[in-house]
Structure 1
Amino acid sequence: MDIMQTSDSSQYGVVENSPYRFPYNKRVEDGNLGASWYFSRKEIEENSLSRRDGISLKKESFLRKSYCTFLQDLGVRLQVPPVTIATAIVFCHRFFLRQSHAKNDRLTVATVCMFLAGKVEETPIPLKDVILISYEIIHKKDPGAVARIKQKEVYEQQKKLILIGERAVLVTLDFDFNVHHPYKPLVEAIKKLKIAQKELAQVAWSFVNDGWREGLVARF
């Protein structure tokens, strides 16, 4: 079903001008994208809620890659392990399998996914750090952003947005945090095959990382 909207967003805990546009007390699930997180390329492209809202496949692909790049930058700045970054990317991909880019700000959702991934992977990130650094990255072209986010009113508004967003992501993911990363099997395969060439191993590692950006983690 399509995402429901309401003129009285406060009913669902949504702040005014929030990037989240769906009621949290409803399970958001498209009729053709069920409980499984793995779909064919055709299913993903044809059943995309973003497409129904007028966003082209090319545009959606750009948006997907942009939030992956953002999460990579955010993770490096926050000094979290690669697996935490990967989990955040998976959560973000899953969110937009069930939600539309037209109704949810991708970078705010990505920030929430990083905060949540830190908890899931037992690499907790202080909420304050997530808020400050994500805001700086999002507004990196604005020289006044660093000083502005340190203002109490601006900071509290961002904090409220992230906490509301966390609830939105949790509901959309159905509280399913089970993520299987390919890093461990890749390392085991490299050892088993006795691949000594460092360059070849690096290429394999790069293929895995590129897969995150392309959303391959949601395909079979």
Structure 2
Amino acid sequence: MDTPFRHRTEAGEKLARLLLHLAGREDVTVLALPHGGVPVAFEVARVLEAPLDLTLVQPVLHAMGPARREVTLGWLGYPAALRLHDATINALNLSDEELGQAISRARRQLRQRLRAMRPGAPAPSLEGRTVVLVDEGTAAGVALRRTAGLLRRAGARALVAAVPVASEEALRLLDGAFEEVVCCYRPEPFVSVSSGYASHPDVTDAEVRALLAPAWGHGDNPGHPIPSP
């Protein structure tokens, strides 16, 4: 059977057609999950004439015991939002200092990831915005749902999940976390996200930067810097 998308650029073009009801609205922001979601979101933002940025989620971890087993205390998001698992923190009886150190480590790691992929520019304000959250696809929906919770904490008014390919299980999970869920291709049985693409190479940090740069006037519009067969 032929794959529905030749590459991520085509997937973004097809996904954008399902989002035309949002085109030209001044309250819309497009956020991409890296790395593969960025070239898809680039096309969506272009068609909708909306600002484009990354969204990242960094776990807040605490290492326990001689084996230094890591326990997740919560999640730190970009744009700025923090969600802690109070029950886990209380069960571990962590001191304020230990919790503060874990959050500081997560912030450093998040900053490192942002510097690698994102041109220097102020973080977007999501207060009162309709956010279109884009990924290249999803098998389980967990990352998108987790990100949705952080984006609401960052002030987003409404959330739209947009993916070219997804499993029915993932779409059911997302349905309760977003005002709208948009998907082009729902294979049954679902094999993998990459199976929806004829060409699915890794996306590098440099390619992400090239796609994001025009959003803040850094350099010329790259067109499609990721080669398309």
Q: What TM-score do the two structures reach when normalised by structure 2?
A: 0.26
Q: Larger % of helix: which?
A: 1
Q: What TM-score do the two structures reach when normalised by structure 1?
A: 0.26
Q: Larger % of strand: which?
A: 2
